Structure 1
């Protein structure tokens, strides 16, 4: 991913409230457009870099369980 894209995404959501961040995430997921995936990836990266090991573990467990429930394609 281009570093400028990463910076632009962070700049666009910096200072957003929790509700605004939630709306951004929900809109990106519900829209289902491929172009929103980099933005979600940057948000995940920011979370991961700032999460403690317990929060990271909780994310990994949630992802693992959720992915196991997805239908195989």
Structure 2
């Protein structure tokens, strides 16, 4: 069976409001469930692909800082 996770995630949330999208993201992060990571990855891919180079650079800098603060970047 070939399951297209990317399209399933997109189809599942494509009609959500901004508040619903935010709630989906917050709930997925707060649940700390490994099974939520692929869906968050799909959402990040959409954000990345629809961001300017400046916004992408800011995301990378934010990620770098966050990793340093959590100790994961050491």
* Structure 2 gap ranges (5+): none
Question: Which consecutive aligned stretches of 4+ in structure 1 deviate over 2 angstroms post-superposition?
Answer: none
Task: Note the C-alpha offset of 1:71.
Answer: 3.1
Match of 2:62 in 1: 62
Alignment partner, residue 14 of structure 2: 14
- TM-score, length basis structure 1: 0.90
Q: CA deviation at 1:33?
A: 0.3
- Residue number in structure 1 paired with 2:31: 31
- C-alpha distance in 1, partners of 2:35/2:57? 28
Unaligned 5+ segments in structure 1 are none
Aligned equivalents of 2:3 and 2:46: distance in 1?
14
SS class of match (2:15):
coil
- Displacement of 1:16 in angstroms is 1.1
Which structure has more relative contact order (CA 8 Å, sep 6+)? It is 1
TM-score by length of structure 2 reads 0.89
Spell out, residue by residue over 1:37-56, the C-alpha distance to the aligned partner (whole angstroms, 9 max, x if none): 00000000001111110110
